[in-house]
Structure 1
Amino acid sequence: MELAKGVAESFGVFAIFDVETVSRSPAITPFVTQTLYSIPLELRRAACDRDRLKAESARKEMARIISAALLA
């Protein structure tokens, strides 16, 4: 839980633009935290796997999920 919050807070330098509204941290921190929680546990475990290819693939899939959520 703390890790997700810390990762979400690291997005503080970013902003999400929605027509005339600009959302910056802390406005996007809860959204990013929720997105991180939505990543399946199996995928999070795979991202830490000793098999480098498996871990890299899992991290890329996690990045895709996060990017898609931010762009949605």
Structure 2
Amino acid sequence: MPFANVKVPAGTLTPESKKKLQDAVVDAFTGVYGDRARSNTLVILEEVHDDGWCLGGTILNQDVLGRS
């Protein structure tokens, strides 16, 4: 069973855009494995809250990323 765990910043996607992203991941696996993979592909979309990311020892948050 193909499996993808996609992590995105919390609060950045609407329910519609989450569905679009999940469908795109399923389509990508199907493009590689063929149609047999479509019904067996598991996609978990995890929303990571501010300060839940770290890059090179630096906590990534709104202040560091410059977004509001």
Normalising by structure 2, report the TM-score. 0.36
TM-score (norm: length of structure 1): 0.34
Question: When you count strand as a share of all residues, which structure comes out higher?
Answer: 2
More helix by share: 1
